[in-house]
C-alpha cells in the first residue's frame, strides 16, 4: 500500500505534500517507521505496496519474512468493533442515496460543529500534560493470500509548554493472529516492528526514532504536526478551509476525509477549530453517513466518510458532544479475501489532562 501519509513521512519537511518522490522499499520502511511512530496520520492513497522487513544486518542470519501488504491501520487508522476475540466479523454498510444522503451528512456535521463550539477545552497548567491515547486494530494482507490482524496502543504526553519534554509509549495489544478462513503458513509477521515499540522522551516531541530533520515539533507546524501556531493560521471560513484541504491533499475529495482524520488523530485540535473543520467537510460532495457505529473502545458514534478505491474511509464523531473519537475503513468491494461491508480497520482516540508525565487517566 502506498498511502499518502507514508509519502508525507518521507518528505523531510512534512509540509509539501505535492513534492513527494516515488517510494523505494527502503524509503517505505523508513517512512512507515516515522509515521507509525508519530501515529498522527491516516492514509490517503489507494495503491497497495508489497513490503518486506528491512535488510538483515551483515553477518547475522535472519529468517526471510513473508511479503505483505500492510493495512492502513498501521498508520493509525484501525478497526471498530469487528476485530474481537480473534474473529473478524462483518457489518453491513449501505452506501448511496445521492443528494439525500449528503444532506443528512451535512446536517450531522453542522450539529457536531455546534456541539464542538459549546465545548470548553481543558486547561493544561504548568507541570500538567495533555494525554493522548490512540488504540488501533486492523488487518494486514499477504501476497500468498493470507491475512492477519493485530493491535497497538500509542500514548503521548504533551507538556503545557510544548518546548519541554514529551513522552511517547507504544506497545502491541495481544498477538498477531490469522483471520479465520485466510490463514497463511507459519506465524503471521508482527505488524509493528520491534524498533517501534518502547518508550521515548524528548523536548518538542522530537523522539530519536524519527529520522533527523524530518520533524520539528516546536518549529514549523504542518498537518502532521499541528502546532498551536499552525492551527491558529488555518482559515476561519469553512469553505476556504475546505479549499485548503483540497489544495493540500492532492487526489480529490476521496483524500480529504482521511487526511482530516490524520489531523484529528493528534488530539491537539481545539474545539473551535474542530467546529470549523466539521463545517468544511460539509463541502465534500460525496460525503455519506452511517449511524450507530462504535469505535474500538465501544463508544458509539456517527461515521462520516467517502469512497476511496475499494474501501470506504470514515471518521467517527460522538453525536452527543461533537468529539472526534476515531476512524475506520470498510471494504466497499471484495479484495484480498475481505468481503464488502467488512470493517478492515478502526481506532479509538481519547484525550485527558494529567498531572504527571507517564500518568494514565482512569478510564
- Interacting residues of 332 by C-beta distance below 8 A, sequence separation 6+: 95, 307, 310, 311, 312, 340
Rg over CA atoms, the chain? 19
295 vs 323: CA distance, rounded Å? 12
Computed from CA positions of residues 69, 70, 73, 79, in that sequence, does the dihedral angle turn out positive or negative? positive
The percentage of the chain sitting over the pLDDT mark of 90, rounded to a whole number, equals 38
In three-state secondary structure terms, 209 is coil
For cell 475503513, what's the residue?
329
Lowest mean pLDDT among 107-116, 147-156, 179-188, 316-325: 107-116
Q: At what angle do helices 271-281 and 253-264 cross, to 10 degrees?
A: 170
So what's the pLDDT on residue 145? 83
Between 174 and 66, name the one with better pLDDT.
174
Maximum Cα–Cα distance across the chain? 63
Give the per-residue pLDDT at 213. 53
Angle in degrees, 0-180, between the axes of helices 98-117 and 271-281, rounded to the nearest 10: 170
The Cα–Cα gap between 133 and 349 comes to 6
Return the H-helix or E-strand segment holding 289: strand 288-294
- The residue written with cell numbers 460539509 in the block is 282
The distance from CA 225 to its chain's CA centroid, rounded to whole angstroms, is: 13
Alpha helices in 87-237 (DSSP H): 98-117, 228-232
- Residue 253 backbone phi and psi in degrees, to 5: -60, -25
- pLDDT, residue 211, reads 58
Neighbours of 43 (CB within 10 A): 31
With beta carbons less than 8 A apart as the criterion, state whether 32 and 3 touch: no
Q: CA-CA distance, 26 to 56, in Å (whole number)? A: 12
Residue 156 has pLDDT above 90, yes or no: yes
**pLDDT of residue 308 exceeding 80:** yes
Question: pLDDT (tens digit, 9 = 90+) per residue, 107-120?
Answer: 888 788 888 887 88
Q: Which of 74-78, 125-129, 257-261, 321-325 shows the lowest mean pLDDT across its residues?
A: 74-78
Q: In the predicted model, is pLDDT for residue 214 greater than 60?
A: no
Give the length of the chain: 363
Greatest mean pLDDT among 12-16, 75-79, 184-188, 325-329: 325-329
Cell of 187: 506465524
For the chain, the first-to-last Cα distance in angstroms comes to: 34
Burial class (CB in 10 A: 0-12, 13-18, 19+), 113: buried
Could you tell me the pTM of the whole model? 0.73
| Confidence tier at 290 by pLDDT (50, 70, 90) | confident
Bridge partners (DSSP) listed for residue 167: 157, 201
Q: Are 172 and 185 in contact (CB under 8 A)?
A: no
Q: Of the candidates 311, 308, 221, which has an alpha carbon nearest to the alpha carbon of residue 273?
A: 221
- Which residues neighbour 351 within 8 Å (Cβ) at sequence distance 6 or greater? 130, 131, 132, 133, 267
- Give the pLDDT score at 9: 36
pLDDT for 212: 52
Amino acid at each position: 500500500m502506498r498511502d499518502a501519509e507514508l509519502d508525507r513521512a518521507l518528505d523531510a519537511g512534512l509540509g509539501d505534500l505535492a513534492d513527494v518522490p516515488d517510494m523505494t522499499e527502503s524509503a517505505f520502511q523508513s517512512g512507515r517507521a516515522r509515521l507509525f511512530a508519530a501515529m498522527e496520520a491516516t492514509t490517503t492513497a489507494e495503491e497497495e505496496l508489497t513490503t518486506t522487513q528491512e535488510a538483515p544486518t551483515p553477518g547475522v542470519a535472519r529468517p526471510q519474512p513473508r511479503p505483505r501488504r500492510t493495512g492502513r491501520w498501521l498508520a493509525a487508522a484501525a478497526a471498530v468493533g469487528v476485530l474481537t476475540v480473534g474473529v473478524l466479523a462483518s457489518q453491513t454498510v449501505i452506501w448511496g442515496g445521492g443528494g439525500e444522503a449528503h444532506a443528512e451528512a451535512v446536517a450531522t456535521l453542522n450539529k457536531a460543529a455546534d456541539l464542538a463550539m459549546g465545548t470548553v477545552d481543558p486547561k493544561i497548567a504548568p507541570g500538567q500534560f495533555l494525554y493522548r491515547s490512540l488504540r488501533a486494530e486492523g488487518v494486514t494482507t499477504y501476497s500468498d493470500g493470507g491475512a492477519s490482524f493485530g493491535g497497538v496502543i500509542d500514548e503521548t504526553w504533551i507538556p503545557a509548554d510544548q518546548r519541554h519534554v514529551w513522552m511517547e509509549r507504544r506497545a502491541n495489544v495481544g498477538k498477531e493472529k490469522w483471520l479465520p478462513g485466510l490463514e497463511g503458513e507459519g506465524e503471521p509477521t508482527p505488524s509493528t516492528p520491534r524498533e517501534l515499540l518502547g518508550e521515548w522522551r524528548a523536548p518538542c516531541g522530537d523522539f530519536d526514532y524519527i529520522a533527523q530533520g524530518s520533524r520539528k515539533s516546536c518549529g514549523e507546524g504542518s498537518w502532521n504536526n499541528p502546532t498551536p501556531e499552525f492551527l491558529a493560521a488555518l482559515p476561519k471560513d469553512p469553505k476556504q478551509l475546505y479549499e485548503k484541504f483540497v489544495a493540500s491533499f492532492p487526489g480529490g475529495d476521496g483524500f480529504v476525509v482521511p487526511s482530516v482524520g490524520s489531523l484529528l488523530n493528534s488530539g491537539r485540535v481545539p474545539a473551535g477549530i474542530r467546529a470549523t473543520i466539521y463545517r468544511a467537510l460539509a463541502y465534500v460532495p460525496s460525503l455519506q453517513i452511517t449511524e450507530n457505529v462504535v469505535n474500538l473502545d465501544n463508544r458509539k458514534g456517527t461515521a462520516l466518510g467517502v469512497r476511496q478505491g475499494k474501501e470506504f474511509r470514515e471518521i467517527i464523531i460522538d453525536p452527543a458532544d461533537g468529539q472526534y473519537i476515531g476512524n475506520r475503513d470498510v471494504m466497499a468491494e471484495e479484495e484480498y479475501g475481505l468481503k464488502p461491508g467488512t470493517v478492515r480497520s478502526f481506532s479509538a482516540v481519547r484525550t485527558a489532562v494529567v498531572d504527571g508525565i507517564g500518568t494514565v487517566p482512569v478510564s
